[in-house]
Chains A and B, each alone.
Chain A
Amino acid sequence: MQLAVLGGFVAAVMAPLLHHWFGARTPLVMALLPAALAAWLIGQWPAVAAGEVLLLEWAWVPGLDITLTFLIDGLAWLFAMLITVIGALVLVYSGEYLRGHRDLPRFLVVITAFMMSMLGLVLADNLVTLFVFWELTSITSYLLIGFNHTDLAARKAALQGLFVTVGGGLALLAGFVMLAVAGDSWSLVELTRRGELLREHALYTPILVCVLLGAFTKSAQFPFHFWLPNAMAAPTPVSAYLHSATMVKAGIYLLARLHPAMGGTEGWVISLSLVGALTMATGAFMAIQHTNVKKLLAYSTVMALGTLTMLLGIGTQGALVAFVAFLLAHSLYKGALFMVAGILDHETGTKDVTAMGGLRRVMPRTAAVAMLAALSLAGLPPLLGFVGKELMFASVLEASAWRPLILLLAFMAAFLTLAVAAIVALRPFFGASRETPSTPHEAPRAMLAGPALLAVLSLLFGLTPGLLDPLVGATVAGVLAPPGETLVEAHLAIWHGINLPLLLSLASLLLGLLVYRYWDRLRAMLARLEPLMARGPEAGYEALMAGVVAVAEWQTRLLQNGQLRNYLVMTLLVLVGLVGHALFFRHTLEFDLALSFYFHEAVVAGLMVAGAVAACVMRSRLAAVAALGIMGFSIALTFVLFSAPDLAITQLLVETLTVILLVLVLFRLPRFASLSTPTERLRDLAVAILTGGLITLLMLSVLSGERLPRISDYMVANSQPLGHGHNIVNVILVDFRALDTLGEMFVLALAAIGVYAMLRFHALEYDARHTVPPRESDDG
């Protein structure tokens, strides 16, 4: 399996090549990959259904305890199936949707890479591996939202999605590290077995906050929901796949997976059920304000994600059964509806439902598919959505915390969703026909196959929900307990008798139809709330981004202002501060100041200082060069006095050459000008003295410290026997450390080439200049 997933990434990269061979049929060829994976998964089903856990071991970085081990239990199986089956359908669909699109190969590369990342995410057993795949899905999502990269809005939406999910990803990483520390394992299977320990650990609250931040941003929970509707700038197959069926459910998957390890505490229950319920209501409420079919669906996805989070928060077995049923129902109907939305956009050239009408006459099959899927979205019998919604209401009635509020929000979400379903399914297909930018035809078969299959599945499972019992049982077992430890018997039914959930459904049906009836008037009323909406979380995001840019600009102006001196001053002050701190506070300054020197040595030292200081203060360039020379030759003298004849020779040679070079070159340059103000000079002097003083102190403390055994002793002893040389310094240079010398030769050769090249260019330019009048005099 790991090979298949990693191979999938290779296949993704191969897409352009495949496109070269197969042309427009490439998506069909690529769809074979998820189809084969789905077939393999189905082969594993008997084992999974029996409650077995498949652990496919694969060491990755053994030293760091990072593995590529895949874990397949009921929960992972369900998600993997959704990813592969819907993935295959979406690939087939996109072949038609993007037929002839210039960037089809690029699309295939990214969407296949996404598919593999998502599979890796739901199958990974190791936290680090999971995180890597998690971030990969964020990046591929970014690339897919921004697929139309010439569109500013798409780029902005892509960046927003990336920032929100990756920002959450950072928190998640911190959460994972703490989780691994607290549970003493990176393996999810192990961690879920240590639930008791984790829930009582001192780090539990920070872990919970970080993990929830990661999951909530990824799954577009309130107040991070705003990126998802904006992500609708992506091509419709992407919206159908990433932003409804798979990626946005990654956060939900993570919460479900960690449920045995971290669930059940008060913090978990309250934050999940409240945030979930709020997200639900927000999504449904925002949905009915839009007329863009994709935005309508996107907000209803937000609502569905909220429902799933809320059900996980409630956490009873009944709620978890509802969770799985709702998850499955949503993936089926929302995938279908998005693909229908893509068909509408493709055929009519508009996404605005108010601009369409009467389409059932020209595209009856699409209308039928849309009706089926929308019935499921509305939660009406006999579709799977109904089963999900009934179970959802039943679970909300079981909620332990904040029950009335959650029930109210859930009811509101239910009737608004019903209105959304009616808008999406009735508005474009019924009523009078309208002029649309392009003339609509029935959708091509390849585009209709996917949504039709999903819609029919919704109907099939709705009529005989018992078919799903083993799957729901196996999945709930994975959420309820560590993988492979319990078996859960689940029974889905379409008819539970006349009970409170059914009455709630009826009430929401009536209210929903009312909302649909007066939708146009309602929208006009809600439009008046615009100023209030403008202050929502998205405004917060914008303000944050603007703030980041402002701070970046401010600190760039301050620190990166292009003045070399400022960089230098900053670097030196930091150096002085840190080293000085270590020197004074971590180290006892004890100096063994036994000053013993001869008079001539002091004179040489004095000459050095005089030369250096004179080079700084001299106004004339010649005098400065001469002062430098004095210093250089005094250094050579020091080398002579203190047993370094080779150094003395080299220094003398180099110093002579330097003086000649400077005299030759500097005379063609201008005189020293006085460019700095006295304050600047004082500041520079202070920095210089601080640094110089620090160096002196450092050297003194090094001198008073203990000497470690010298490497040189080996070199002194072996210079003659091994290197056959009597001058030890020379033997070191050409033998013991010959590679250093080789490197030095390269540096010199490069410098020589550079000097030659610059002088040569000068000569060429000089020749050229002699043919035109000289620009200005050259003796400045």
Chain B
Amino acid sequence: MEPLMAIVIGILFAAAIYMMLRRSIVKLVIGLMLLSNAANLLIFATAGMVRGAPPLVPQGLTAPEGAVADPLPQALVLTAIVIAFGVLSFAVVLVRRAWEIVRADDLDKMKDTDT
């Protein structure tokens, strides 16, 4: 599964970067969302993808029986998902405020301080 995911993640990154290079700020924000999702998947998939063995300790035992999925990348990704949401909500509200004031969705029209 990992090689397939490698290709998928490459495409997600490419899509994210393409969108981040657009002049429209809304597209830039969409690019950021794609990028954070792609990065999360990258960390998750690189650690190895295991079917049907969640990192849980069964009741009454001190350690899981047999191999389980690596819990550390999962913890990292979990943190990343939440932070990405925080950043996204801030960015979206910022874009909205910028639109209200500058009335432009074009980054090129916002590069000077006096607009």
Contact A699 B9, CB 8 Å, known A748-B82, A762-B97: yes
A733 to B71, CA, bound (A): 10
Contact B90 A654 (CB under 8 A): no
Which residues of chain B from 35 to 55 have a CB within 8 Å of any chain A CB?
A: 37-38, 40-42, 44-46, 49-55
- Flag whether A579 is at the interface (Cβ < 8 A): no
Residue of B nearest to A618 (CB): B30
A-B contact count (CB 8 A): 271
Measured between C-beta atoms, what is the minimum distance from A157 to chain B in Å?
A: 34
Measured between C-beta atoms, what is the minimum distance from A623 to chain B in Å?
A: 12
Q: From the candidates A596, A700, A740, name the one contacting B79 in the complex (CB within 8 A).
A: A740
Contact A670 B105 (CB under 8 A): yes
Contact A616 B70 (CB under 8 A): no
A728 to B27, CA, bound (A): 38
A645 to B54, CA, bound (A): 7
Q: From the candidates A688, A750, A776, name the one contacting B18 in the complex (CB within 8 A).
A: A688
A208 to B40, CA, bound (A): 56
Contact B6 A720 (CB under 8 A): no
Contact B57 A728 (CB under 8 A): yes
Binary interface profile of B, 1-42, with partner A (CB < 8 Å = 1, else 0)? 111111111111111111111111011101001100110111
A645 to B52, CA, bound (A): 10
Contact B40 A635 (CB under 8 A): yes
Q: Is the interface of A mostly helix, strand, loop or mixed?
A: helix
Which residues of chain B from 76 to 97 have a CB within 8 Å of any chain A CB?
A: 77-79, 81-90, 92-97
Complex interface: chain A residues within 8 A of B70 (CB): 710, 712
Q: From the candidates B42, B68, B107, name the one contacting A563 in the complex (CB within 8 A).
A: B107
- Flag whether A468 is at the interface (Cβ < 8 A): no
Binary interface profile of A, 546-566, with partner B (CB < 8 Å = 1, else 0)? 000000000000000011110
- Flag whether A24 is at the interface (Cβ < 8 A): no
Complex interface: chain B residues within 8 A of A628 (CB): 30, 33-34
Complex interface: chain A residues within 8 A of B83 (CB): 744, 747-748
Q: How many residues of B are in contact with the other chain, CB < 8 A? A: 88
A692 to B71, CA, bound (A): 27
- Flag whether A595 is at the interface (Cβ < 8 A): yes
Contact A689 B14, CB 8 Å, known A658-B33, A710-B70: yes
Q: From the candidates B30, B45, B59, B63, name the one contacting A624 in the complex (CB within 8 A).
A: B30
Contact B69 A642 (CB under 8 A): yes
Which residues of chain A from 558 to 594 have a CB within 8 Å of any chain B CB?
A: 562-565, 568-569, 572, 591, 593-594
Q: From the candidates B9, B27, B88, name the one contacting A696 in the complex (CB within 8 A).
A: B9
Interface centre among A563, A568, A692, A752 (most CB of B within 10 A): A692
Contact B3 A692 (CB under 8 A): no
Contact A609 B6 (CB under 8 A): no
Contact A699 B68 (CB under 8 A): no
A642 to B43, CA, bound (A): 13
Complex interface: chain A residues within 8 A of B4 (CB): 595, 597, 601-602, 605
Contact A687 B82, CB 8 Å, known A605-B5, A726-B57: no
Contact A716 B21 (CB under 8 A): no
Contact A615 B50 (CB under 8 A): no
Contact B88 A688 (CB under 8 A): no
Which of A12-20, A29-37, A389-397, A659-667 makes up part of the contact surface? A659-667
- Flag whether A99 is at the interface (Cβ < 8 A): no
Complex interface: chain B residues within 8 A of A726 (CB): 56-59
Measured between C-beta atoms, what is the minimum distance from A211 to chain B in Å?
A: 47
- Flag whether A758 is at the interface (Cβ < 8 A): yes
Which of A73-81, A416-424, A534-542, A671-679 makes up part of the contact surface? A671-679
Contact A751 B86 (CB under 8 A): yes
Contact A565 B6, CB 8 Å, known A669-B96, A744-B82, A752-B86: no
A635 to B70, CA, bound (A): 18
A728 to B73, CA, bound (A): 11
Contact B57 A719 (CB under 8 A): yes
- Flag whether A446 is at the interface (Cβ < 8 A): no
Q: From the candidates A612, A644, A650, A716, name the one contacting B44 in the complex (CB within 8 A).
A: A644
Measured between C-beta atoms, what is the minimum distance from B28 to chain A in Å?
A: 8
Complex interface: chain A residues within 8 A of B38 (CB): 695
Measured between C-beta atoms, what is the minimum distance from A650 to chain B in Å?
A: 5
Contact A716 B18 (CB under 8 A): no
A731 to B61, CA, bound (A): 15
Contact A751 B33, CB 8 Å, known A639-B44, A646-B74: no
A642 to B52, CA, bound (A): 6
Contact B17 A712 (CB under 8 A): no
Q: From the candidates B2, B15, B41, name the one contacting A615 in the complex (CB within 8 A).
A: B15
Measured between C-beta atoms, what is the minimum distance from B51 to chain A in Å?
A: 6
Measured between C-beta atoms, what is the minimum distance from B43 to chain A in Å?
A: 10
Q: From the candidates A613, A635, A647, A703, name the one contacting B6 in the complex (CB within 8 A).
A: A703
Contact B107 A616 (CB under 8 A): no
- Flag whether A486 is at the interface (Cβ < 8 A): no
Measured between C-beta atoms, what is the minimum distance from B114 to chain A in Å?
A: 12
Complex interface: chain A residues within 8 A of B16 (CB): 612, 688
Measured between C-beta atoms, what is the minimum distance from B36 to chain A in Å?
A: 10
Contact A733 B24 (CB under 8 A): no
Residue of B nearest to A594 (CB): B3
Contact B90 A721 (CB under 8 A): no
Complex interface: chain A residues within 8 A of B58 (CB): 726
Contact A699 B42 (CB under 8 A): yes
Interface centre among B24, B28, B58, B78 (most CB of A within 10 A): B78
Complex interface: chain B residues within 8 A of A728 (CB): 55-57, 64, 68, 71
Contact A647 B81, CB 8 Å, known A569-B21, A755-B89: yes
Contact B21 A568 (CB under 8 A): yes
Residue of B nearest to A689 (CB): B14
- Flag whether A708 is at the interface (Cβ < 8 A): no
Complex interface: chain B residues within 8 A of A643 (CB): 50-55, 68-69
- Flag whether A59 is at the interface (Cβ < 8 A): no
Contact A658 B34 (CB under 8 A): no
- Flag whether A56 is at the interface (Cβ < 8 A): no
Residue of A nearest to B50 (CB): A643
Contact A703 B46 (CB under 8 A): yes
Residue of B nearest to A592 (CB): B3
Contact A612 B15 (CB under 8 A): yes
A684 to B21, CA, bound (A): 6
Q: From the candidates B27, B57, B63, name the one contacting A672 in the complex (CB within 8 A).
A: B27
A670 to B99, CA, bound (A): 9
Measured between C-beta atoms, what is the minimum distance from A759 to chain B in Å?
A: 6
Q: From the candidates A644, A695, A758, name the one contacting B97 in the complex (CB within 8 A).
A: A758
- Flag whether A2 is at the interface (Cβ < 8 A): no
Contact A665 B41 (CB under 8 A): no
Contact B26 A669 (CB under 8 A): yes
Contact A642 B33 (CB under 8 A): no
Complex interface: chain B residues within 8 A of A597 (CB): 1, 4
Interface centre among B27, B46, B55 (most CB of A within 10 A): B55
Residue of A nearest to B58 (CB): A726
Contact A675 B17, CB 8 Å, known A658-B33, A699-B6, A712-B70: no
A712 to B50, CA, bound (A): 15
Complex interface: chain A residues within 8 A of B17 (CB): 568, 572, 684, 687-688, 691-692
Measured between C-beta atoms, what is the minimum distance from B89 to chain A in Å?
A: 6
Interface centre among A601, A712, A762 (most CB of B within 10 A): A712
Residue of A nearest to B18 (CB): A688
Complex interface: chain A residues within 8 A of B87 (CB): 747, 751
A719 to B54, CA, bound (A): 14
Q: List 6 A-B contacts (CB under 8 A).
A: A643-B54, A645-B54, A676-B22, A711-B72, A725-B57, A733-B78
**Closest 5 A/B residue pairs (Cβ):** A692-B14, A696-B10, A643-B69, A751-B86, A562-B111
- Seed contacts A654-B85, A716-B68, A726-B59; 4 additional CB < 8 Å A-B pairs: A605-B5, A700-B3, A728-B57, A755-B89
